[in-house]
Amino acid sequence: MTKRIFVIFLLFAAVSLYAQNNGGLLNKYALAQSYEQSGDLKKAAKLYEELYLADPNNNLYFESLNRVYMQLKNYAASINLIEQAIKRKPRDINLYGMLGSSYYLMGNEQKAFETWDEPFSLFEPNAVFYRVIAGYAIERRAFEKAIELYQKGKELSDDKVIFSYDLARLYSVTMQYEKAAEEYCEILNNDPQQLLTVQTNLLSLANKPDALEKIINVVEDFGTKRNTAFDYLLARLYIEAKQYDKAFDAYLKLDRIQKQQGRELLNYARFLFREKEYALAKEVYEKIIDLYPESPMLSSAKLGYARTLEADLMDDYQKHIPSWKPFFPVVTYDSEKIEDVIDAFNEIIETYRHSKSAYEAMLRIGMIKFYLQNNQTEAKTYFNKIIKEASNSENLADAYKELGEIALLNGDLSEAERNYLHITVLAKLNIRKVTDAKYRLARIRFYKGDIEPAQKLLADILKNLKDDNANDALQLSMLLNSSKIDSSNLKTFAEAEFLAEQKKFNEAAEKYKLIAENQQAFLLHSIASIRLAEMKLAVNDYQQAIELFTKVVEEGEKNIYSDKALYLLGEIYQYGLGNNAKAVEMYEKLLVKFPASIYLDDAREKINILKEKIS
């Protein structure tokens, strides 16, 4: 019994002694770390050396000591330390990686490479080891050596894909884009499911000089008679290079092989439409219609074809209207293209009666009748037909909106209000259209003199400051709040705004002038002053507009619209009078006088364009 107690006592004493010693080492390690973190590397090294000598097999002490040696650039000490470790653990692959790194940083590149190669002559071939050592080479930016190691590892490995990714990344870093593309092609050839990843990686190189052309050449050569993933990849690369005709051929091939009945082509045509490549988009839509007359995508293709014709028409229309002006009269546009567009939409209406495509076609025709041909009667017929027949149509809100616009133009506030109210109660409608209708309703209430209901609607919009209408709603709300005590001028201003909405610019100008001449009207004076100038601009009275805008600019900070006035002066000289030199002068004044203006970027862009023309 006594003997057993004695043994237990000895064990307890040994454990206690170990704990005390270990606790001392931990405290010393913590102190060494604090020295290292504070930058006192020599003191840290001394403590780490003591810890390492106390326990040479402790990997934490070993790595900490080597780390400090490296920071002190004491590479000889690092090499000696690692060589001792290798003698104890000759099969630890990481030690060879660390030793090579120390030689490399010392400047002995040849010895570093020999050290990194050494384990492959000592051990059995192992692909994983090549990746480990390559990682050390990459850490020291010895990329060519890392590439060599990855290539050797790839030859041994059963998983070629992982090494191809490694190589492709290194080839990309070293600007060897053809070789990077070759590795990605090998990946895709082995595993077509890697298409998205390969595509993303290749596209990330597209903005590098000459890279995209080289990549396309490699993929074209490699992709011959391979899997369809190469066709998808090539099509996407052609798009990136804006080689849209080649992409068209690729999608034609894919659609035929995959028996998609036009689905791939339809997606491509929609992309071209978004990129405003209307001529080719039209060709693609025509190809779908010709090749797949029984396809379920046919109605979408026909609608897309009509929309493409319409977009081309609207491009021409935009060139014939003074869209640079804040206000301008109704412009009736006459073009042979109009009937072609209307015929294309009418075919959809007749062929696909009561369909989603048919009601969208009705909406588009109605808008052409209203905005291009100024034929309100026929436009209203189309909008009302949508409302009557398609209570669940996505185009219902737009039909109500356009009817509201027609009513406003004709001065019928009650009719306009009724149409906008319909939008606010429509089920399953996106919030953007609802808030747009609320803003228009707020303006109608303002025109009527119903200030509190208008403010309530504006406050509702301003709950979401990211909304498209938030900025306009904020400006109107500030105007109403700051002008409450000036009810007479506010009423006159509302009347002027309503007249401007009806495009009765001369009548509106008379009312704006009454407020603009009143310096005591404060905010109303500022906005009325610039509105008066905009009314003169709307009726092409450039001389009067220039005088009025100049007067606003001269008010400086007293008028919050001074920067806008200076910007519009530049546009008058540029577009209205064709005096590019004077336009540049105005835009440059804007840059100097109003460095925080929202018009700054546009002004800079216009200065660059105009200076090229002048030179």
* CB of 265 closer than 8 Å to CB of 287: yes
Q: How many CB atoms lie within 10 A of CB 489?
A: 20
Distance CA 136, CA 63 (A): 15
pLDDT in tens, 65-116: 999 999 999 999 999 999 999 999 999 999 999 999 999 999 999 999 999 9
What CATH number does the domain located at 518-614 have? 1.25.40.10
* CB of 160 closer than 8 Å to CB of 154: yes
pLDDT in tens, 473-531: 999 999 898 877 788 999 999 999 999 999 999 999 999 999 999 878 778 999 999 99
Burial class (CB within 10 angstroms; exposed 0-12, middle 13-18, buried 19+) of 210: exposed
* CB of 568 closer than 8 Å to CB of 541: no
Quick one: tokens of 562? Answer: 């001074």
Distance CA 307, CA 313 (A): 10
One DSSP character per residue, 52-119 reads HHH-TT-HHHHHHHHHHHHHTT-HHHHHHHHHHHHHH-TT-HHHHHHHHHHHHHHT-HHHHHHHHHTH
Q: Between the CA of residue 464 and those of 316, 426, 452, 580, what are the distances in Å?
A: 36, 20, 20, 41
> Which pLDDT score, from 0 to 100, does residue 428 have?
59
Distance CA 39, CA 239 (A): 53
The set of residues, in sequence order, having a beta carbon less than 8 Å from that of 138 and lying 6+ positions away, is 146, 170
Distance CA 98, CA 63 (A): 10
> Which pLDDT score, from 0 to 100, does residue 138 have?
95
> Which pLDDT score, from 0 to 100, does residue 77 have?
92
Residues of the chain where predicted confidence (pLDDT) is lower than 50: 1-3, 5-20
> Which pLDDT score, from 0 to 100, does residue 549 have?
97
Angle at CA of residue 72, ends 76 and 79, nearest 5° = 20
* Closest among 310, 358, 319 to 337, alpha carbons compared: 310
Burial class (CB within 10 angstroms; exposed 0-12, middle 13-18, buried 19+) of 529: buried
Q: How many helices (H) and strands (E) does the chain have?
A: 33, 0
* Closest among 169, 243, 244 to 212, alpha carbons compared: 243
Distance CA 159, CA 127 (A): 9
pLDDT in tens, 130-168: 999 999 999 999 999 999 999 999 999 989 999 999 999
One DSSP character per residue, 363-423 reads HHHHHIIIIIT--HHHHHHHHHHHHHH-TT-TTHHHHHHHHHHHHHHTT-HHHHHHHHHHH
* Closest among 131, 142, 129, 130 to 103, alpha carbons compared: 142
Distance CA 140, CA 146 (A): 10
